[in-house]
Amino acid sequence: MLKGKEIVLGVTGGIAVYKAVELLRLLVKAGADVHVVMTQSATEFVTPLTFQTLSKNPVHMELFNLISEERIGHISLAERADLFIVAPATANFIGKIACGLADDLLTTTVMATRAPVLIAPAMNVNMYHNPIYRENEERLKNHGYLFVPPVSGMLACGYEGEGKLQAPEAIFEEAVAALTVKSLAGERILVTAGPTLEEIDPVRYVSNHSSGKMGYALARQARLRGAEVTLVTGPTALAPPCGVNVVRVRSATEMRDAVFAALDETDIVIKAAAVADYRPKVRAGSKMKKIQESLTIELEKNPDILAELGAAKGGRLLVGFAAETQDLVRNATTKLNAKNLDLIVANDVSLEGAGFNVDTNIVKLLYRDGRVEELPMMGKEELAGVILERMELLRGKGTK
């Protein structure tokens, strides 16, 4: 995901330095080439050796180090970087940058870069709310510096409150966002995901094997590309993507209501949810007892949300999924036409590496004009990116 990207990770002194180690690991795992710059006080908390071992690059600390200056001086670091991250960033570091001070290697390189700079502050709650700090942060934001706000919690100084460094995963996500071209800026995208769950009685239900992975990947990738995203999701075990407006539902009826409530503020709808086609006709008010030898539950049809959207779509783009086990193209084409879609992602769920509960998918994209685009097996995150690129093309924004 970050292959070919050069990132400078600045680490300033504070108890949260240990979290920067985890952040470094995530960045390296995603393929980035990371150069760590530590302040003197950061080295009091974690040794440079830890960062050096994980990054497989020398750690930079001193402004005038002749050996490292020759090989990779601070100006060269500043120029080569695609992104700067400073995590944890102390009030002192932020104050210096806000005043244009450059008195050590980190402040000097940050001042000298034209790459985006992402700052993750960590400090005492009173410092965080100090008007001088607030002014400094505002000033930097006005100059285009990006911030990952701290979270609330018990701080090392014993105080409870805002000031705790964000989780490494959240900082990583913002780093990916900072490096992603905002090709969907201005688009409002609604994604549905996961299964729906239709209750039989208070403890039992009818559902399906959908994990929600495809829909969550679409929501995440759309947000990374700058779209405003609403994710209407049935019950899943997944953590919702950062920066996405999440609406949790259970049944198909609830999903329909949530989708139509958001429709006015939506330009593109992507219906990746595996909506249960039927629900029990009667929901028992109390737990059903096993009195009978056999049991028949009568089911009635759920609303077809996508078909209803197709009838009400106006100028919106509408994308559906087709889960099939036979006659993939023919069945998917029928759905594309019947539900008035712009694109359908046709998915033979009987193939290995496709469909429910796996990380990959093998799909064909079917367009309104009859075109069929066959895609190789790929990860759901990557497929989400491809689907969104096709959205840009249909919007007349893309380049392919």
Residue 324: beta bridge partners? 348
Residue 315 CB, nearest approach to ligand CTP (Å)? 20
Q: For ligand CTP, which residue of 17, 34, 155, 273 counts as binding (CB under 6 A)?
A: 273
CA-based nearest residue to 81, from 157, 19, 10 = 10
Residue 136 or 230 having the CB closest to ligand CTP: 230
Catalytic residue selected from 99, 101, 157, 372: 157
> Interface with ligand CTP by CB under 6 A: which range of 10-18, 225-233, 269-277, 285-293?
269-277
Q: By CB under 6 A, is residue 254 in contact with ligand CTP?
A: no
Q: For ligand CTP, which residue of 9, 24, 306, 391 counts as binding (CB under 6 A)?
A: 306
Q: Show the DSSP H helices in 281-357 as ranges.
A: 305-312, 328-338
The helix/strand/coil state of 121 is strand
Contact between residue 335 and residue 320 where contact means Cβ atoms under 8 Å apart: yes
Q: For ligand CTP, which residue of 136, 221, 266, 302 counts as binding (CB under 6 A)?
A: 302
> Interface with ligand CTP by CB under 6 A: which range of 95-103, 118-126, 128-136, 317-325?
317-325
Q: For ligand CTP, which residue of 42, 171, 322, 384 counts as binding (CB under 6 A)?
A: 322
Q: SS3 breakdown of the chain: % helix, strand, coil, rounded to 5?
A: 35, 25, 40
DSSP 264-303: GG-SEEEE--B--SEEESS--SSPPP--SSS----EEEPP
Contact between residue 194 and residue 258 where contact means Cβ atoms under 8 Å apart: no
> Interface with ligand CTP by CB under 6 A: which range of 153-161, 171-179, 321-329, 367-375?
321-329
99 given a catalytic annotation: no
Look-up: residue for tokens 């001088």?
132
Q: For ligand CTP, which residue of 98, 252, 268, 365 counts as binding (CB under 6 A)?
A: 252
Look-up: residue for tokens 């049991």?
295
Residue 313 CB, nearest approach to ligand CTP (Å)? 13
Q: By CB under 6 A, is residue 323 in contact with ligand CTP?
A: yes
Q: By CB under 6 A, is residue 218 in contact with ligand CTP?
A: no
Total number of residues that touch ligand CTP (CB under 6 A)? 14
Residue 343 CB, nearest approach to ligand CTP (Å)? 11
Q: By CB under 6 A, is residue 321 in contact with ligand CTP?
A: yes
Q: By CB under 6 A, is residue 172 in contact with ligand CTP?
A: no
CA-based nearest residue to 236, from 274, 286, 289 = 274
Residue 232: beta bridge partners? 192, 247
DSSP 215-265: HHHHHHHHHHTT-EEEEEE-S-SSPPPTT-EEEE--SHHHHHHHHHHHGGG
d(CA 215, CA 234): 10
Q: For ligand CTP, which residue of 17, 38, 91, 275 counts as binding (CB under 6 A)?
A: 275
Residues forming the active site: 157
Interface residues with ligand CTP (CB under 6 A) are 252, 271, 273, 275, 277, 302, 304-306, 320-323, 335
